[in-house]
Amino acid sequence: MRIKFLLVALLISVIGFSQTVNDYKGVIVPLKYDFLKSENQYRMSTMTKANLNKAGFQAFYGNEELPAGFGDRCDLLYVDVKKDNGFLITKLFIEFKDCYGKVIYTSDIGKSKEKDYEIAYRESLDLAFVSVSALHYKYNGKALGTAKASTAAQLSPQAQVVTTTAIAPPVADMKDPNLLYAQPTENGYQLIDKTPKVVMKLLKTSRPDSFIAIKDGVQGSLNAKDNQWFFEYYKNDQLVSEKVSVKF
């Protein structure tokens, strides 16, 4: 079984190396970058989205409700603007990552000698996007999330048996702003939010409606009850039950 899991991981990894931005149907733009102090400071997120749209991408903010057809987060790219160290010069570059955090593309560095931060950031960002625009992005119609799940199932017959005999999981509320998305791991899943950030890790048990769950260093269990998922753990000898919205 372990060999089959390794084969699945290897094949998905190989597929990942050949991926380009054209394999993804849209891009998620965060509301805040690490080098900034507040959300959309200097309108950086706004300018990022505008530049992406100009380059031909369909871009959405991280807190934006996605339209129909964009429900699989692994069919989307996640953009990040990073600041490089520079003496008396502002340097920015752009990274595109997949839903697993793998870098798919890194732009050229945009530079500015302007002293005003807002002007310098805008100028550097626009220059970094020159290399992004030069990619001539055009979605090629692939559905990466579906393809990876199908590949894993083909290489692991046991997984197919579990899928067909498992209890149907609770139906996720796609409009829930706190909705988490399950990404398969070797022993279970990791749950990510829209940013994407890993919020919880799940380990499989003998029951399809119950997982060992770890969140912020606290270990408990994730259990399906009344068509909902609950993260349950003990705090000060008292059982705590938190409702969690999950899309598997």
Same domain, 110 and 223: no
- In the predicted model, what is the mean pLDDT of residues 145-169? 48
pLDDT digits over 46-73, tens only? 999 999 999 999 999 988 888 888 878 7
Same domain, 106 and 176: no
Same domain, 104 and 189: no
Same domain, 129 and 170: no
As to burial, measured by CB atoms within 10 angstroms (0-12 exposed, 13-18 middle, 19+ buried), residue 79 is buried
- In the predicted model, what is the mean pLDDT of residues 74-92? 91
Instruction: Out of 81, 115, 133, pick the residue that ends a domain.
Output: 133
pLDDT at 12: 46
Radius of gyration of the chain (CA): 20
Same domain, 121 and 171: no
pLDDT band at 5 (very low <50, low <70, confident <90, very high): very low
pLDDT at 102: 85
DSSP state of 22: G
Q: Which residues contact 199 (CB under 8 A, 6 or more apart)?
A: 180, 191, 192, 193, 215
Cα-flanking dihedrals φ and ψ of residue 220, to 5°? Answer: -155, -140
Domain membership of residue 52 (yes or no) is yes
pLDDT digits over 18-51, tens only? 579 999 999 999 889 999 999 999 999 999 999 9
pLDDT digits over 107-143, tens only? 999 999 999 999 999 999 999 999 999 999 999 987 6
Same domain, 177 and 237: yes
Same domain, 59 and 180: no
Q: What is the DSSP string of 112-128?
A: E--SSHHHHHHHHHHHH
Same domain, 197 and 128: no
Domain membership of residue 213 (yes or no) is yes
Whole-number average pLDDT of the chain? 83
pLDDT band at 175 (very low <50, low <70, confident <90, very high): confident
Which residues constitute the domain of residue 183? 166-247
Same domain, 178 and 112: no
Same domain, 128 and 171: no
* 212-225 b/e (C-beta count within 10 Å ≥ 16 → b): ebbbeeeebebbbe
Same domain, 194 and 115: no
pLDDT digits over 163-172, tens only? 434 456 688 8
Q: What is the DSSP string of 100-116?
A: TS-EEEEPPPEEE--SS
